[in-house]
Chains A and B, each alone.
Chain A
Amino acid sequence: MTTTPGSPETPEVLRPHAEQAYADELAALRAHDADTGRVRPPSWQLSPGAVTTYLLGGELPDGTHVSPKYVGSRRLVEIAVASLATDRALLLLGVPGTAKTWVGEHLAAAISGTSTLVVQGTAGTAEEALRYGWNYARLLAEGPSEAALVPSPVMRAMCTGALVRIEELTRIPADVQDALISILSEKTLPVPELDTEVQARPGFNVIATANNRDKGVNDLSSALKRRFNTVVLPLPDSVEQEVEIVRSRVSALGRSLDLPADLGAGDGAPSEIERVVTVFRELRSGSTLDRRTSLKSPSATLSTAEAISVMTNGLSLAAHFGDGVVRAADVAAGLVGAVVKDPVADAIVWQEYLETVVRDRPAWADLYRACRELG
C-alpha cells in the first residue's frame, strides 16, 4: 500500500483520512475529468470512470501516477461504482480481511470528497446513531427546536448530499436496522417532534459493510437486503497475488515493529509465506492447488489478514527466539492455531490435511515435522 504524505497543513496523525492522504491524486483525476468533459452524476466529485481509476490505479495523461488502492477484480469495482451511480445503496460483503472498509472509505473519499461520515455498527448502536438525537440540556431549557437536535452522520449526509458509511451493518440490532428501510426507499427522514422532515439532496447514498461469515450477527431482513446492491469482495484470486499482499504487509509491519528478521528462502525452496498462503488457500477452497485432491475445510475463515498475522508472529519468533530467519518451526504454531479453532472438528481436518497432503510433499518435510511435534 503506497502512502503519499498528507498535505502540509494537516498535523501529523497516525492515520490520515483517504481524502487527505490521496488529495493530489483526487485533484489530478478531477482535472482530467474536466479536460475530457466526462459526465458526473449530481454532487459527485469525480465521474464514475475516474472513481474506478482511483481505486484500481493507473496513469493519467498528465503523468500523474494513481496508486492502486484495491488489488482485485475490475469488474467488482465497476459494479460498486455503477450501483452508487444508479442511486442504489451499496452493501460490501466479505469475510474479515477482504478490504471491505478500505474500499468503502476510498469510494466515499472519491465520490463525495469526504470519508468521515461514518456510523460504526455495534450491538449497542441505537436508533439515534442512524436518525438523530437530542441535546437534552437544551431540550429541557428551550423545548424541541432545531438547535436542540443532534443530527446523526446519516442525517448530515442527507443534508449535504454526501455518502455515509455504515460499518458492520449486521452487528446493529435488527430493530435499529429497520430505521434504514424508509431512509433508503423514501430518501427522507421525518422529525415528528418538530413536525418537519429532512429530504436527502442528490448525491446522498449509503455504503454499508458486513461480514458474511461471522457468529453473533443479526441477519438483514429481506426488505432491507432488497434495498442494497450487494457486492461480495472475494479473497485474492491467485497464490501469487496473495503471497505478494502478505509479503508487502508483513514487511511493512515488521519494519514498524522493528523486527530485524529475514522472511527466509529465496534459494529455490518455497518460502514460508508461500507455504502458509498455500495451506490457507487449500484448506479454504477444499482442494489442493493442483485440484487433484479434495480436502475438508475447517471452521476458521483463513483470510489473508490471518495469513498476515501468522507470518508476523513467525517473524517475531524468529527475531527474538530464533536465528533471525523465519523457518518452519516459527510458523508452525501460528499456523496450527489459525486453522484449529474448534478443538475437535478442526483438529481432525488439520490432521487429515497434514497426513494426506503435507506429508507427501518432499519439500515440506520440515513443516510436517514441526507441525507433528506440536501434536
Chain B
Amino acid sequence: MTTSVLVPLGVRHHGPGSARAVRAALEELQPDLVVVEGCPELDPLVAHVADPGLVPPVAALVYAADDPRRAAFYPFAAFSPEWVALRWAVARDVPVRFADLPAVHQLAPEAPDDAGEDARPASYPDVIGTLARTAGYDDPERWWEDAVELPDAAGSVLDRFALLREAVTEVRDAHRAEHPEEDLENARREAAMRRVVRAALKEGHERVAFVCGAFHAPALHLPDFPAAAHDNRLLARLPRTKVAVTWVPWTHGRLRLASGYGAGVGSPGWYDHLFTWADRDRDGVVPAWMVAVARALRTAGIDAPPASLVEATRLADELAVMRCRPSAGLAELQDAVLTVLCEGSTLPLQLVEEQVVVGQRLGEVPEHVPMAPVAADLARQQRAVRLKPSASVTEAVLDLRTPNGRARSALLHRLRLLGIDWGTPVDAGRTTGTFKEAWRLQWDPGFAVALVDAGLRGTTVADAAARTVAEDAAAAPDLPALSDLVEACLLADLPAGLTAVVDALAERTTHQHDALALAESVGPLARTRRYGDVRGADTTRVAGLLGTVVVRASVGLRAACASLDDDAAARARRAMETCDEGVTLLDDAELRRPWQEALAILAADETVHGSVGGRANRLLLDAGVVVPSTAAERMARRLSPAAPAPAAAAWLDGFLAGDAAVLLHDDDLLRILDDWMAGTADVVFDDLLPLLRRTFARFSAAERRAVARGVGRGPARPGARSVALDVEAAAPVLAGVARLLGAPGVGGAVA
C-alpha cells in the first residue's frame, strides 16, 4: 500500500490542451489502472471503446430504467481528455474504471424531504474564475487556454498537474474558510470517487491515474484521504433506482449543451481542429483554420480567395500580438474572418459559426450496443396500451372516449411526428361523432433507425416528438404548414410542442407583411383555441397570439385590399371569410371590435374591389353591425347606373355569396336588385349574364324559386303589402297544425 501512487489528472472537460496533457501524463506514468470521472455503471461500456465502429462524438447514456426522462449523458469527443484516457488504456490493455456518485443514487427520484437539496448550493467555488482573476485575466476561459491548454512547457507534465492541483486546493480552502456550510453534493461525489480508488488499491493496483475535472483533483490527493468510515457515512442510505446504460451517437452541436460533464463547450469544431493540428504542426493551426473556413464559405457561394486567406491570417496574428496573447485564439480568428472574408457582415459569420466553429460531425455507434432509450420507452408504452407491433397489417378502431383509446391515439400520432409510420390513419367510416379513429398498423424493422435518431431529440417518445415539432416549426416554410403543426400537436397531445409551434407562429406572423396571410391564419388558430380546451391543452398563449394577429390583420386589411384584380380579390375575400369565421367562432369582444372596425372601413369604401366590398357588407350585415337600411343604401349606390356594371356584379357576388336568404327577407334589397337589372342596357346585360349566373347558381333550387317568386310579386309598396289567402284551401292544413299543437279552438274559428 505504501508504494502505491494515485495521480489525479485535473482537466477541463472537453479541453483539447488537457487531452494532450493527459496523454503525455499517461505515457510518463504508465499506470496499471486508469480511473475516469463518471458513474461506475458505465464500466461495461468500456468494452465497446476498442470497437472501430464507435466513432466520437458519442455519449455514454445512463437512464433510470423505469423513467428514461431521468437520464444523464456523458459525451465524449475525440478531443475530450476522458476519451483520450479511455482509448490509451484500452489500446494497452490497461483496465479502466469509472468513479463518481453511482447513477442508481443520482437518478433516484428525490425523496420529498430532500427537495431542499435540489437547489444548487449557492457557495459553489468558481475555481477557474478565481485563478484567472488572480492572474489578471477577466475571461476565465481565456486564462485557462493561455495558461494551461496552449503552452508546451518543458519538464514533467505530471509536475504541472501537481501544480494545478495545489492551486485548486488553495482556492477551495480559501472558499471553505468563507463559506463553512457543507457542499453535500460534491462531498458525496468525491467520497464515491475515493471509495473506487480504495477498492482498486486493495486489489493490488500500484500506479493509478485518475482523470477528473480540475475541481475534484484536491479531493483525490492520496495523503489527504479521510478515513474510509467518513466516506461510507456520506454514502449511506441514499435513495436507489434501477438504471440502464448505452452508447448513443452524439453531435458536435449537442456538445454545446450542458450535460453529465457540466457545462457544454461553445466551439467543438475549433477544439477538434486545435487538437488535430497542435500535434501535427503548431504553425499550421491558423492557416489551416482559415482554409477550413474558406471551404465552408465557398460551399455557400461566398468568395473566399486565397489572397484574402493570407490577409486574414496576418490580421489574426496581429490581433493576437495587440491583445498580448501567445497565439491567435478563436476570438482573433473570428474577428479576422469577419473583417476580411465576410466584409464585416455577420450573416456569413453565422454560417462559419455553425459549420466550422461548432461543426456538424455526427458520431457512430456499432449495432450490437444495447437498446436506445426511445426504443425502450416505446416498448414500455406498447405494453402499457396493449398494442403489439407486428409485421402483418392489422386494423384498429380507437374509441377516443376511453383512456386507453386516447393513449393509443396519442402514441400513434407521436410516432408519426417522428417519421415512424407504424400506424396510418384510415377513414373511420360514416359516423356522426368525432370520437372514433381508425388506423392501419404495420411494423417495419427499419423504424429502429428512426428510433435511435429520435434519441437525439429526447429520451422518450413524447419528448422526442415535442422536440421534432419544435424543429419542424422553426423550419416550416409558411403559415399553413405551421397551422398543420398546431393541429398535430393537439392530436398527439404534446403541450410542450404546442408552445414551440405557437412561438414559431408568433414569430412568423410578425414578419408576415401580408395582412391577408395573417387573416388566413386566424381560422386554424381560432379552432385551436376553441377546441384545444376540450383536449386539455393550455391555449392561453394561442389566445394572446390570436389577439395580436387579429389586430395586425385588421390594421393592414384596408391597405392589403387596395387595387386588387379579380384573382387577388378572390383571395382577399377568402382570407376575410376565414378570419371572420375564426373571430365569430371565439365570440370575443376584444377580437371582434378591431376586426369589425376594419371590415366597416372596407364596407364603406367604394374604391375597393366590388367582390371584397360586397363581402364585407354582408359579413357586417349578418353580424348586425350594419343595419339593413345602410346595406340597402350601399347596394343602391354600387348598383347605380353610373357604376360600371361588371364592378356592380362583383359587389353583388360578394354580397350574396351563395346565400339568398337576405334577398328573401328584405324586400328593399330585392327591389334595388330588380330595378338595377331592369335598367341595364341589353349590351351590358349580355356581358353581365355569366357573372350573374355564377352568383345565382350557388343558390339552392328552392332559394332560386323563392327569389323568382319574390320578383314576380312585383315591387312591394310599404304598407300596401296584402296577400290574398285562399282560406278554403288552407283550412285542412290549419286544422292539422292546430291538432298537433293541441289547440282545437283555432281550427274551429277558421272553419
Q: Footprint of B on A, CB under 8 Å?
A: 48-49, 52, 75, 78-79, 81-83, 85-86, 88, 91, 93, 222, 225-226, 228-232, 286, 293-296, 344-345, 348, 351-352, 355-356
Contact = CB atoms under 8 A, between A and B. Distances in A.
B575 interface: no
Contacts of A348: 515, 555-556, 559
Contacts of B305: 226
B658 to A, nearest CB: 32
Contacts of B507: 294
B344 A352 contact: no
Nearest to A234: B346
B555 A86 contact: no
24 contacts: A75-B331, A78-B323, A82-B315, A82-B318, A82-B322, A83-B315, A83-B339, A85-B318, A91-B344, A93-B344, A225-B343, A226-B308, A228-B343, A229-B339, A229-B340, A230-B343, A230-B344, A232-B346, A293-B548, A294-B507, A348-B515, A348-B556, A355-B594, A356-B552
B319 interface: yes
A323 to B, nearest CB: 34
Contact of A295 (B311, B315, B336, B510): B510
Contact of B335 (A79, A222, A344): A79
Contacts of A228: 343
Interface in B307-349: 307-308, 311, 314-315, 318-319, 322-323, 331, 335-336, 338-340, 342-346
Nearest to A222: B303
B375 interface: no
Contacts of B315: 79, 82-83, 86, 88, 229
Contacts of B513: 296, 345
B551 interface: yes
B552 A352 contact: yes
B511 A294 contact: yes
A232 B555 contact: no
Nearest to A87: B314
B516 to A, nearest CB: 13
Given A75-B335, A86-B314, A232 B556 contact: no
The 6 nearest A-B residue pairs measured at CB: A230-B344, A294-B510, A232-B344, A82-B318, A230-B343, A229-B339
B311 A229 contact: yes
Given A79-B335, A82-B319, A352-B555, A231 B344 contact: yes
A296 B513 CA distance: 8
A105 to B, nearest CB: 20
Contacts of B162: none
A222 B307 CA distance: 13
A83 B510 CA distance: 40
B506 interface: yes
A339 to B, nearest CB: 15
A230 B345 CA distance: 8
Contacts of B336: 79
A88 B307 CA distance: 12
Nearest to A350: B555
Given A226-B308, A351-B555, A296 B511 contact: yes
B335 A81 contact: no
Interface core residue of B305, B308, B340, B511 (most chain A CB under 10 Å): B340
Q: Which of A75, A79, A286 has the most CB of B within 10 A?
A: A79
A79 B315 CA distance: 8
A355 B551 contact: yes
A356 B551 contact: yes
A352 B598 CA distance: 13
A52 B324 CA distance: 13
Nearest to A41: B318
Given A222-B303, A351-B555, A356 B311 contact: no
Contacts of B511: 286, 294, 296
A262 B682 CA distance: 74
Contacts of A49: 322
B402 to A, nearest CB: 40
B548 A356 contact: yes
Given A88-B314, A226-B303, 7 more contacts: A86-B314, A229-B315, A230-B342, A230-B343, A295-B510, A296-B511, A348-B555
B338 to A, nearest CB: 8
Contacts of B339: 79, 83, 229-231
A49 B321 CA distance: 10
Given A79-B339, A294-B507, A86 B311 contact: yes
B618 to A, nearest CB: 26
A359 to B, nearest CB: 10
A68 to B, nearest CB: 18
Nearest to A92: B344
B322 A78 contact: yes
Nearest to B556: A348
Nearest to B513: A296
Nearest to A294: B510
Contacts of B510: 286, 293-296
B506 A294 contact: yes
Contacts of B338: 79
A288 to B, nearest CB: 11
A232 B345 contact: yes
Nearest to A49: B322
Contacts of A81: 322
Nearest to B515: A348
Task: Report which residue of A83, A344, A345, A355 has the largest number of chain B beta carbons within 10 angstroms of its beta carbon.
Answer: A83
Interface string B425-442: 000000000000000000
Contacts of A78: 319, 322-323, 335
A222 B302 CA distance: 11
Nearest to A75: B335
B473 to A, nearest CB: 15
Contacts of A85: 318, 322
Contacts of B552: 352, 356
A52 B322 CA distance: 10
